[in-house]
Amino acid sequence: MNFKLHVWRQKNAAAKGRMEQYEARDINADMSFLEMLDVVNEDLVEKGIDPIHFDHDCREGICGACSLVINGLPHGGMTGTTCEVRMRLFKDGSTIYVEPFRAKAFPVIKDLTVDRTSIDRVMQAGGFVSTHTGAAIDANAILVPKDKAEEAMDAAACIGCGACVAACKNASGMLFVAAKVSQLALLPQGQAERERRVNKMVAMMDIEGFGNCTNYYECEAVCPKDISVKFIAKMNREYMRALVK
Amino acid sequence: MKLDSKVPSGPLEQKWQKHQFEMKLVNPANKRKYSAIVVGTGLAGASAAASLAELGYEVKAFCFQDSSRRAHSIGAQGGINAAKNYQNDGDSVYRLFYDTIKGGDFRSREANTYRLAEVSNNIIDQCAAQGVPFAREYGGTLANRSFGGAQVSRTFYARGQTGQQLLLGAYSALMRQVGLGKVTMYPRTEMQDVVLIDGHAKGIVVRNMVTGEISSHAADAVVLATGGYGRVFYLSTMGLGCNVTAAYRAYKKGALFANPCFTQIHPTCIPHTGDYQCKLTLMSESLRNDGRIWVPKTKDEQRAPGQIPENERDYYLERKYPSFGNLAPRDISSRSAKEACDEGRGVGPSRYGVYLDFSDAINRLGKDVIEERYGNLFEMYELINDENPYEVPMRIYPASHYTMGGLWVDYNLMSNIPGLHVIGEANFSDHGANRLGASALMQGLADGYFVLPYTIGDYFAREGAKNISTERPEFREAEEAVAMRIKKLLDVGGKQTPDSFHKRLGLIMWEKAGMARNEKDLKEALQEIPALREEFWNDVNVLGSADEMNMNVERAARVADFLEFAEIFCLDALDREESCGAHFREEHQTDEGEAVRNDKKYAYVAAWEHKGVGQKPELHKEDLQFESVQLATRSYK
């Protein structure tokens, strides 16, 4: 397979970026999107051109490092993360546009690499149960009904990639924040800090420049882990609950 | 050099308790005067950094990823062991200890392994308290599953994402401490060297991966939690950023590297499909609970799997190891797959694959049950291979996955360099020559939550707070050496990419020091590696400059270390004239092809001391003392 790529190149945070054109030749249909970029990069290096920088690590859809907006959609809008997207899903000979995740809270560092430490800071505000190492009671002393545990796991499956933010017109971080708030609100372990957590995480989300949710549901559509927007509704209820308490 | 393991005296069951009492304490009010550097923030590093900060120490944590939530601990799928005996199936701390030490083929340190089993239960409690959504029974209690190498059901799990959920638990504890100002986090920062002051590790030199800036950080102790070196094979299931650099730089500063040849090749990975691949995908070992592994009985079978009748299939693990069957330990399963493929009975386009077949399980339990258990794994498989594993058997093949070897540490998890602690996969101590499934998460968290926070206090209390300044010449010299080395890489100006060298090194290692090793191959590898290293330094092409985000520099620097490290790996494999665990020397096997261990001569930890690049390192031996267990021939028949 052969492709024409239009890729966002930006030397550093301060520099002005632009789209550059590259050819991807002799691409195997079984390659992942990132393996295709690896091939392009090896070729660029051999020509003395700085390779395209992008974040990646596990290459199996779990670490959340890879990002990329492919043809206008985070992770290409396909099943899974960019590293899981296979080239067989693209039409041979087609043109592919590759850009970084774009959001106020995710400034570009270089090329397709963005700074997502804002996600960490929202977590620092309250995305935890305050329990010291060593203070825990026997695990079976906390009973969690199976359906609640499963629902909490559905929310906990978030990999923190930020695709929800990149897909949203408002660059809202609601799906990501809601996933963490819901996971801990559903579990008995999270009850003690239930109100404090949602208040603090939402406040930090605003400080970091994430937008608000206006129910476009683009986030759910691109989420590689199928986190449901029902958790956003749940977070809104949690937030209201915290307000009246 | 005399290696002192500092294992406490007394009965095995009381060693840790006794040691905890005997260790010196730091007064709570004085804890803030002590600082620790933690390098690597995966399971071991994040749990250690958070726990040390909770105690009151000042902590600086470093990771090369953009966030500690992305460390490759996240890739562990199957589960975490603990001796809870919630299933009433006869489990106990002693049984978990025995399984682990037997699984490691009696090449781990008895006291460390016992302590690991002992604290395993605390880990589950701790993680449950953090809100890790473990799988539950309808009554709300925790669920378990069985895993390779054990006959009890002791593995706790969170779907197929246990590593992810445990890491996110440790990460949340770490984020809490960052928010409280007790931990300063340095993401996208790579350790370049460890700095010794009067023989003690008192700091590190790092490179900021965004700006390229080289800087120094000082502390009262340094903790390396920098993971394993499985990418020495180039292709592995590890994250692409995983590397040996931090551990190797410590080695060059005098830390001993122990048992580097003990590397685990995981049996259930998706087979290699083409030269473009830089990463292999692991399919959780839990699949072996319900999947049956087989190859055709005849060579060069051309029929599709469904066309091959039952009596023409060889369920080789069930045949060779009737009591453990498909749950035989990883090293045995991997080697058996290799043997079948070497005989020409492999399947798939490359013929380096075996079937993992769920049709019996689907018939017995129904598709829904299988989907509930393994749905996400089946999906992942289909995404990659374009084949539906509910209908066509999966194809799997072994791949480099975990490294049991690592920096030598004593019972306190301190290396031979005072102040330099090594935890998690980066050390060597608990898994011997082979690690059992669901034990890596256990060890990472045991070290980080429940061992290091005690033992580092003992070191602090004995040494006192030093308040060392990075203005000292030791730091200046180390910074200059780091900058020089990067400049040297950039100045080569050759033709070949760093990755192309890494690939070639990986091929040498896989072919000659992979699942089965022999003297001839290892000696060849020891000729080829230095030659490749020389070629690298003459012809590598590292583009760009040192003072920017530059993946060329990052990769080249890591490959350069792998090119040196691979040599001690092969020397170690050559020195160990026995077959044990994952280390299989073809010269040492029975007529049936089973491993022959040599306890008389090789019941030791091989700890290598650096003597200069290209020079033979000096071997130091720590004799393994077994007070409680009888060294038995490991049999899973």
Candidates A42, A79, A139; nearest CB to B499? A42
Instruction: Report how far residue B412's alpha carbon sits from residue B420's, in angstroms, rounded to the nearest whole number.
Output: 11
Write out chain B residues lying below 8 Å of A84, CB-based: 380, 383-384
CB contact under 8 A, B130 and A137: no
Instruction: Report how far residue B624's alpha carbon sits from residue B467's, in angstroms, rounded to the nearest whole number.
Output: 38
3-state secondary structure of A177: helix
* Residue B447 is assigned to a structural domain of this protein: no
Closest residue of B to A32, CA-based? Answer: B384
CB contact under 8 A, B179 and A124: yes
**DSSP 8-state code for residue A79:** S
Write out chain A residues lying below 8 Å of B240, CB-based: 56-59
Q: List residues bridging with A64 in a β-sheet.
A: none
Closest residue of A to B130, CA-based? Answer: A129
Instruction: Report how far residue A75's alpha carbon sits from residue A68's, in angstroms, rounded to the nearest whole number.
Output: 6
Instruction: Report how far residue B436's alpha carbon sits from residue B427's, in angstroms, rounded to the nearest whole number.
Output: 16
What's at A2, amino acid-wise?
N
Residues 6+ away with beta carbon under 8 Å from B589: B579, B595, B596
B58, B101 Cβ separation under 8 angstroms: no
CB contact under 8 A, B384 and A86: yes
Q: Write the CATH number for B502.
A: 1.20.58.100
Average pLDDT over residues B414-431: 97
Reported ipTM: 0.98
Average pLDDT over residues A27-39: 95
Write out chain A residues lying below 8 Å of B43, CB-based: none
* Residue B508 is assigned to a structural domain of this protein: yes
CB contact under 8 A, A39 and B276: yes
pLDDT number for residue B235: 95
Closest residue of A to B135, CA-based? Answer: A149
Test the A interface: residue of B20, B77, B81, B125 with most A CBs within 10 Å: B125
pLDDT number for residue B295: 97
Q: Which domain holds residue B576?
A: 473-609
CA B307 from chain centre, in angstroms, equals: 40
Candidates A38, A117, A156; nearest CB to B67? A117
Distance from the Cα of B624 to chain A's closest Cα (Å) equals 31
Q: How many CB pairs under 8 A join A and B?
A: 220
Mean of the per-residue pLDDT values of chain B:
96
CB contact under 8 A, B500 and A56: no
Q: Which helix (H) or strand (E) holds B621?
A: strand B618-623
CB contact under 8 A, A50 and B122: no
Residues 6+ away with beta carbon under 8 Å from B63: B39, B40, B41, B45, B71, B185, B186, B187, B188, B189
Whole-structure pTM value: 0.97
Write out chain B residues lying below 8 Å of A203, CB-based: none
Instruction: Report how far residue B177's alpha carbon sits from residue A83's, in angstroms, rounded to the nearest whole number.
Output: 32
Is 90 exceeded by the pLDDT of residue B286? Answer: no
Closest residue of B to A138, CA-based? Answer: B125
Q: How many domains does chain B have?
A: 2
**Nearest partner of B246 among B235, B258, B255, B234, judged by Cα:** B255
> Phi, psi at residue B118, to the nearest 5°?
-65, -40
CB contact under 8 A, B140 and A132: no
**Nearest partner of A97 among A9, A19, A42, judged by Cα:** A19
> Phi, psi at residue B400, to the nearest 5°?
-60, 135
pLDDT number for residue B84: 98
CB contact under 8 A, B276 and A31: yes
- Tokens 């206090």 correspond to B457
Is 90 exceeded by the pLDDT of residue B541? Answer: yes
Q: What is the DSSP string of B140-175?
A: SSBP-B--TT-SS--EE-STT-HHHHHHHHHHHHHH
Quick one: angle between helices A230-244 and A194-207, nearest 10? 110
Write out chain A residues lying below 8 Å of B273, CB-based: 28, 30
Q: Which helix (H) or strand (E) holds B292?
A: strand B292-296
In tens, the pLDDT along B55-87 reads 999 999 999 999 999 999 999 988 999 999 999
Q: List residues bridging with B155 in a β-sheet.
A: B81, B145
* Residue B246 is assigned to a structural domain of this protein: no
Q: What percent of chain B has pLDDT over 90?
A: 90
Q: Write the CATH number for B378.
A: 3.90.700.10
State the architecture of A3-110 in CATH terms.
Answer: Roll (3.10)
Same domain (yes/no): B392, B273:
yes
Determine whether domain A117-244 maps to CATH 1.10.1060.10: yes
CB contact under 8 A, A12 and B161: no
User: B209 falls in which pLDDT band (50, 70, 90)?
Assistant: very high
Distance from the Cα of A163 to chain B's closest Cα (Å) equals 15
CB contact under 8 A, B130 and A131: yes
B321, B592 Cβ separation under 8 angstroms: no
pLDDT number for residue B372: 83
pLDDT number for residue B592: 83
Same domain (yes/no): B393, B477:
no
Instruction: Report how far residue A36's alpha carbon sits from residue B152's, in angstroms, rounded to the nearest whole number.
Output: 44
* Residue B501 is assigned to a structural domain of this protein: yes
Distance from the Cα of A194 to chain B's closest Cα (Å) equals 12
Query: How far is it between the farthest Cα atoms of chain A?
Result: 64
Candidates B54, B172, B549; nearest CB to A113? B549
Instruction: Report how far residue B65's alpha carbon sits from residue A63's, in angstroms, rounded to the nearest whole number.
Output: 10
Write out chain B residues lying below 8 Å of A125, CB-based: 179
pLDDT number for residue B239: 96
* Residue B126 is assigned to a structural domain of this protein: no
Q: Is the dihedral of CA B294, B297, B302, B305 positive or negative?
A: negative
CB contact under 8 A, A128 and B159: no
In tens, the pLDDT along B543-559 reads 999 999 999 999 999 99
CB contact under 8 A, B134 and A11: no
Write out chain B residues lying below 8 Å of A149, CB-based: 133-136, 140
Task: Tell me the pairing of strands B221-224 and B420-422.
Answer: parallel
Distance from the Cα of A39 to chain B's closest Cα (Å) equals 7
Domain boundaries, chain A: 3-110, 117-244
Instruction: Report how far residue B131's alpha carbon sits from residue A156's, in angstroms, rounded to the nearest whole number.
Output: 10
Q: What percent of chain A has pLDDT over 70?
A: 100
Q: Do you know the residue count of chain A?
A: 245
CB atoms within 10 A of CB B359: 15
Instruction: Report how far residue B572's alpha carbon sits from residue B556's, in angstroms, rounded to the nearest whole number.
Output: 25
Q: Is B33 exposed, middle or buried (0-12, 13-18, 19+ CB in 10 A)?
A: middle
Q: Which helix (H) or strand (E) holds A3?
A: strand A3-9
* Residue B76 is assigned to a structural domain of this protein: no
Is 80 exceeded by the pLDDT of residue B177? Answer: yes
* Residue B201 is assigned to a structural domain of this protein: no
Instruction: Report the catalytic residues of B.
Output: 330
Q: What is the DSSP string of B384-435?
A: HHS--TTTS-EEEEEEEEEE--EE---TTSB-SSTTEEE-GGGB-SSSTT-P
Write out chain A residues lying below 8 Å of B159, CB-based: 153, 157
Q: Which helix (H) or strand (E) holds B543?
A: none
User: B90 falls in which pLDDT band (50, 70, 90)?
Assistant: very high
Distance from the Cα of B242 to chain A's closest Cα (Å) equals 8
Average pLDDT over residues B268-274: 91
What end-to-end distance do the CA atoms of chain B give, in Å? Answer: 41
Instruction: Report how far residue A155's alpha carbon sits from residue A149's, in angstroms, rounded to the nearest whole number.
Output: 10
Test the B interface: residue of A34, A52, A60, A201 with most B CBs within 10 Å: A60
Q: Is B16 exposed, middle or buried (0-12, 13-18, 19+ CB in 10 A)?
A: buried
CB contact under 8 A, A134 and B383: no
Is 90 exceeded by the pLDDT of residue B201? Answer: yes
Instruction: Report how far residue B91's alpha carbon sits from residue A113's, in angstroms, rounded to the nearest whole number.
Output: 48
Is 80 exceeded by the pLDDT of residue A240? Answer: yes
Cα distances (angstroms) measured from residue B43 to each of A35, B171, B341, B474: 28, 8, 35, 31
Domain boundary among B342, B374, B398: B398
Distance from the Cα of B620 to chain A's closest Cα (Å) equals 35
Cα distances (angstroms) measured from residue B28 to each of B36, B190, B440: 16, 32, 32
Mean of the per-residue pLDDT values of chain A:
97
Test the A interface: residue of B166, B496, B543, B555 with most A CBs within 10 Å: B543
Segment A33-39 long-range contacts (CB within 8 Å, at least 24 positions apart): A33/A68, A33/A70, A33/A76, A33/A82, A33/A83, A33/A85, A33/A86, A33/A87, A34/A59, A34/A66, A34/A82, A34/A83, A35/B276, A35/B277, A35/B278, A36/A3, A36/A87, A37/A98, A38/B276, A38/B278, A38/B499, A39/B276
More confident residue, B373 or A139: A139
Q: What is the DSSP string of A86-150?
A: BGGGSPTT-EEEEE----TTS-EEETTEE--HHHHHHHHHH-S----TT-PPPGGGS---HHHHH
What's at B7, amino acid-wise?
V
Is 90 exceeded by the pLDDT of residue B423? Answer: yes
pLDDT number for residue B2: 87
Is 90 exceeded by the pLDDT of residue B594? Answer: no
pLDDT number for residue B159: 87
Domain boundary among B398, B426, B441: B398
In tens, the pLDDT along B366-411 reads 999 999 888 888 988 998 899 999 999 999 999 999 999 999 999 9
Token pair for B624? 């393994």
Candidates A38, A117, A145; nearest CB to B140? A145
Distance from the Cα of B481 to chain A's closest Cα (Å) equals 26
- Rounded to 5 degrees, what angle do the CA atoms B214, B479, B453 make? 80
* Residue B25 is assigned to a structural domain of this protein: no
Distance from the Cα of B449 to chain A's closest Cα (Å) equals 6
Candidates B161, B171, B449; nearest CB to A133? B449
Candidates A35, A62, A124; nearest CB to B276? A35
Distance from the Cα of B384 to chain A's closest Cα (Å) equals 7
3-state secondary structure of B296: strand
CB contact under 8 A, A134 and B450: yes
- Tokens 């050819």 correspond to A23
CB contact under 8 A, A143 and B240: no
B97, B135 Cβ separation under 8 angstroms: no
CB contact under 8 A, B179 and A55: no
